[in-house]
A = this chain, B = another copy of it.
Amino acid sequence: MLEELKQEVYEANMQLPKLGLVSFTWGNVSGIDREKGLYVIKPSGVPYDELKPEDMVVVNLKGEVVEGDMNPSSDTPTHTYLYNHFPKIGGIVHTHSPWAVSFAAANMDVPALNTTHADTFYTDVPAADALTKEEIEEDYEGNTGKTIVRTFKERGLDYEATPAALVSQHGPFAWGPTPDKAVYNAKVLEVVAEEDYHAMQLTRQNLELPQYLLDKHYYRKHGANAYYGQNNAHSKDHAKREN
């Protein structure tokens, strides 16, 4: 069942240790088949060097295990919640990457301070509200998804244009059109969190990027007029036209 997706999710999971985003088993990636309404996720607590594609667990959008001998990630209810409320995402990743965790522990957004940020995230990456005592005791992992979605709604953010969030006191979640892109976004978040930290120690000036620079970098890589990379009609033309 879903063998190709399992392979894809397996490979995305295996990127996490390579990119320095996880220690031990502290991370998980999932990917969804929207037509079938099923998603595939890493099993809970299995070390990366023992992981195999066939270990991936298949879960439906009620959060029920549909196939697999192993327990799915304990963060499965968070993934379920996000897939249900962010209908255009195809993959989700959760890590405890250390720079993003530092901002989550400080209960601070990862602000947009440089163009690497703007290439991937159109706004600050928000730190979602910490869960209340009641939310934690009632349904911890489900409510972890809920606080992310609520934060995007309250701030009027577009989850496709800003494909990540911190959960305060906990760590980052990132997503994207595919599991692979979700992992890419998680790595970008880690890189810019490190850079932001150092910039914020160097000066107390307000370093937020102006909107026109966010626009330029974000739309250089995304949307109809993108011209970065090889897969768009605009790029070679742009290179010639610009000089």
Contacts and interface: CB of A to CB of B under 8 A. Distances in A.
How many monomers of this chain does the complex have?
A: 4
Nearest to A145: B243
Given A114-B105, A137-B212, A194-B98, A65 B240 contact: yes
B227 A74 contact: yes
A81 B59 CA distance: 49
A235 B43 CA distance: 11
Interface in A185-231: 187, 191, 194-203, 205, 207, 209-210, 212-213, 216, 220, 227-230
Contacts of A96: 116, 191
B62 A113 contact: no
Given A63-B240, A74-B238, A76-B242, 12 more contacts: A46-B230, A59-B239, A71-B230, A98-B195, A102-B199, A106-B203, A107-B207, A114-B170, A115-B171, A136-B212, A140-B216, A142-B242
B202 A43 contact: no
Nearest to A84: B243
Contacts of A152: none
Most buried by B among A74, A184, A209: A74
Given A70-B230, A140-B216, A230-B71, A116 B101 contact: yes
A201 B201 contact: yes
Contacts of A133: 210, 212
A139 interface: yes
Interface residues of A, number: 79
Interface string A20-50: 0001101000000000000000011110000
A77 interface: yes
A202 B44 contact: no
A160 interface: no
